Amino acid sequence: MSEQDSGTRNVLSRRDFLKLLAAAGTALTFTPFVPWGQFMPNPSNTVLQKAQVMLPDGTQANVKTFPKNSSQVVTYPLTGDSVLDQEAFRKWQFIRLPSELGGDTEDVSAFRVYSMVCLHLWCLWKYWPQEGRKRGECPCHGSMYNPLTGKAFAGPASLQAPPSNVLATLYLEADNDGNLWFLPAKWDINVNGIIGYGRILKT
């Protein structure tokens, strides 16, 4: 093989490599804006009924005892299968708001429940109760969520168009003893939202 032929093959190889880089860059640019949630395994294969808000210690959450400005990871819907119940799409941040945001009231208005699946690239975010923070934060790319509404206000999730800038939520009911229950969810962007995709925020 001549030196010229070898040089031509190397040029073509570099050109192909640059084409691949360009294609990958384009795909990554649009990834956050694709409605992936429509194709995700939202837990709709379970018959959804009113269910107890069960805390990790096995007790039911209660408006009189759950601490203000704190959160726990809860599972919904529970299947009874220990493997299925560990799926990220069944994990929720159960939050009692800080006092300044209404956390002092002893009813469901003091609580919020949001899917832990970040709307950007599906990392799991958490609630931070520290003074000056008091928000949801994703550790992967810095998206931040308002604990009152579940709406992203900073980071890449905040740049996404509705509904992909507001977390899916669950609604609650309290019984006469103050025990909290999940109301059956409807996975629709106008109701509970779609896990990993988002929700239309009602004003």
Confirm whether 135 is domain-assigned. Answer: yes
Confirm whether 49 is domain-assigned. Answer: yes
Confirm whether 187 is domain-assigned. Answer: no
- Tell me: the pLDDT tens digits for 140-190? 999 999 999 999 999 999 999 999 999 999 999 999 999 999 999 999 999
Confirm whether 24 is domain-assigned. Answer: no
Confirm whether 1 is domain-assigned. Answer: no
Confirm whether 120 is domain-assigned. Answer: yes
Confirm whether 26 is domain-assigned. Answer: no
Residue 46 belongs to domain spanning: 34-182
Q: How many domains does the chain have?
A: 1
Give whole-number Cα distances, 196 to 29, 68, 104, in Å: 18, 27, 30
For residue 62, the domain's CATH number is 2.102.10.10
Phi, psi of 177 (to 5 degrees): -95, 0
User: Which of 3-17, 28-42, 140-154 ranks highest by mean pLDDT?
Assistant: 140-154
- The whole-angstrom separation of Cα 167 and Cα 57 is 25
pTM: 0.79
More confident residue, 193 or 80: 193
- The whole-angstrom separation of Cα 154 and Cα 200 is 18
